Amino acid sequence: SSGFGLAFSALGTSGPHFTAFHWLRPSFYGFKDFGSPNFVSAFTAFHGLRPSIYGFKDFGSPNFVSAFTAFHGLRPSIYCFRDVGSPDFVSAFTAFHGLRPSFYGFKDFGSPNFVSAFTAFHGLRPSIYCFRDFRSPDFVSAFTAFHGLRPSIYCFRDVGSPDF
């Protein structure tokens, strides 16, 4: 890399673009490193009833793509950070707002050894936080919280050992 130069310009000029469509149309934000061909960061936001999508990509290396997607209103918010070059890691963060549940998931798909799931139900529904090691049957950690009129339950279990 010949260094990092962050350039920012308005639509209609050369280089990165900043485009804002209001109302029901999307907004696009792009930030590029022209000193190195390895990095392009794109930021896209759909307003109104449509989703907001935020993407950060490293095109010089096929190993990294980070996507951030948010659905507003009654639709879910989904946040996703992925390493496409390596099949070993996918991190997904999903939040349903309003009366719908919030789900937070961090997963390592390349290795069956780890899945971490964080789920939160808002309002009168329960909040469930779960961190699990599926490769080893010895450990499951569950954290459950019921909000409102329901109880709070916190559970940390070592299933592989009868001693705990």
Question: What residue ranges do the domains of the chain occupy?
Answer: 1-70, 87-164
**Model confidence pLDDT, tens digit, residues 24-53:** 444 444 444 445 444 444 444 444 444 444
pLDDT at 33: 47
Count of residues in the chain: 164
**Model confidence pLDDT, tens digit, residues 128-155:** 444 444 444 444 444 334 344 443 444 4
**Model confidence pLDDT, tens digit, residues 76-107:** 444 444 444 444 444 443 343 443 444 444 44
Pairing of strands 102-107, 90-95: antiparallel
Q: How far apart are CA 66 and CA 30, in angstroms?
A: 14
Q: How far is CA 54 from CA 31, 64, 66, 153, in A?
A: 12, 14, 8, 35
Question: pLDDT-derived band of residue 59, with 50, 70 and 90 as boundaries?
Answer: very low
Q: Is this model's pTM higher than 0.95 or not?
A: no
